[in-house]
Chain A
Amino acid sequence: MIVALVVIGIVVLIAIFLVFRYNSLVRARNRVDQAWSQIDVQLRQRYDLIPNLVETVKGYAAHERQTLEEVVAARQHGVEATGVAEQAGAENEITQALGRLFALSEAYPDLKANTNFLNLQEQLSGVEGKIAYARQFYNDSVFGYNTRIQSFPTNALASMFNFGEREYFEAEGEARGPVRVQF
């Protein structure tokens, strides 16, 4: 009689343990998904800031058409990009184009003193930082999730319920190279 009760007790405890484990896997996987869309949110922010920047610069340096057009084109590539590799390539293009634009602005003291321009510069710096942090958080989430589904005893549970491994965000070939600033 007692033995039966003990056995039932142990089974119940194991069941509760498994439920908690399963839920933590769900939470970890959802965090990975959420982190991925967070990256997108920051990328969109950046795209939204660029038209305003282009307009502001045009007000002072309208004849620097080539640089301005490069920025607009790079932004367009970013908006239209599909797939991680293409997106990363477009991102790199935007960073380079923006770099040239800001280097250019050094020659226009009026532009540099414009509060709108300064605000946009700060916001763009901020957004680039946030994109980097969003990617970092995504990778951290993937690390946490992958470690969980690979560790014993959760790995048995994971394979039973099809919790697959997630991939890290890696800087694709072009983005890994040095940023070339050409004038």
Chain B
Amino acid sequence: MIFEAVRANKRKSWLLIAAFVLTIVALGVVFALIFRLGVVGVVVALVLALLLTWGSYWYSDRIALAMSHAKAADPVEYARLHNLVEGLCIAGGLPKPRIYVIDDPAPNAFATGRNPEHAAVAVTSGLLEKMNRIELEAILAHEISHIRNYDTLVMTLAVTLVGFAALLADFAFRFLWWGGPRHRDDQRGGGGPQAILAIAGVVLIIVVPIVARLMQYALSRRREFLADASGVELTRYPPGMISALEKLRADQTVVHSASKATAHLWIEEPLPTHQGEGHQPRLNRLFSTHPPLEERIAVLREL
């Protein structure tokens, strides 16, 4: 069941990525033709989007660690942490990532890095205190799976696509407003068609970035399910992860050193959600980077 779960998640995430890319390509075509951006405009938007996100991808480990005030974990003081990570890396055939500890009472963890050779895992002091050995191992397995599955690369791709779409929408808006390359014939048309185009343009400019973001969040949630399944594939022990997630569910403390920018990296949504929520309102859930803990636990119980 475990292997099936991993393969199903990988398949679904590939489908999502394909749909995402196709949607954005279609948008590119639409914007190029209808809004007269032309190939040049589209290419400029793409290059800009790549430039903006590439730095954050290449240095993702350093950036994430600096933002969360993480400190390198001494191998003697945090022997258990190091031993658990080493064991999991043996199980996954991975090089050992750098290990960090964040001084924060809220239990949470993240993993980042452009590839397994340049990866880092960070845990909060709260997590180390509140989890027992088996639960800690399960959480670390989830984080190491993010590294193994190249999730930083996948999410950077998604963010690049979102940025590209947003830039396209922005360019189109500017062209509409200030007048972009237009055939001289159109000047005479005036009125009707222009107005419709303008309205359609404004609508797209507002809607396109939102739709792109929704796809990005959907992909993020799928990769979280994949990390859960891959983590269990490493430990071969679902109850460990279930127990850890249940403890996380019961714990209400919020991570102080997180921000919206790094939210998707953590093992559970670090930003405060509704208190006493059994069910988040549907709309909130679409914008979550993580699936609800309830659902993750239910899926793991099936394994």
Contact = CB atoms under 8 A, between A and B. Distances in A.
B90 interface: yes
Given A136-B236, A137-B90, A137-B93, A129 B83 contact: yes
Contacts of A35: 93
Nearest to A42: B90
Main secondary structure of the interface of A (DSSP, over half): helix
B135 to A, nearest CB: 14
B48 interface: no
Nearest to A129: B87
Contacts of B90: 38, 42, 130, 133-134, 137
A153 interface: no
Given A136-B236, A137-B93, A122 B79 contact: yes
Interface residues of B, number: 15
Contacts of A114: none
Contacts of A133: 87-88, 90-91
A122 B76 CA distance: 11
B91 A126 contact: no
A123 B79 contact: yes
A31 interface: yes
B191 to A, nearest CB: 56
Contact of A129 (B76, B84, B92): B84
A119, A126, A134 — most chain B CB neighbours (10 Å): A126
Interface residues of A, number: 18
Contacts of A122: 79-80, 83
Nearest to B79: A122
Interface string A113-126: 00000010011011
A126 B79 contact: yes
Contacts of B84: 126, 129
Contacts of B236: 136
Interface in A22-38: 31, 35, 38
16 contacts: A31-B93, A119-B76, A123-B83, A126-B79, A126-B80, A126-B83, A126-B86, A126-B87, A129-B83, A130-B83, A132-B87, A133-B87, A133-B88, A133-B90, A134-B90, A137-B91
Interface of B: 76, 79-80, 83-84, 86-88, 90-93, 133, 137, 236
Minimum-distance CB pairs A-B, first 3: A126-B83, A133-B91, A129-B87
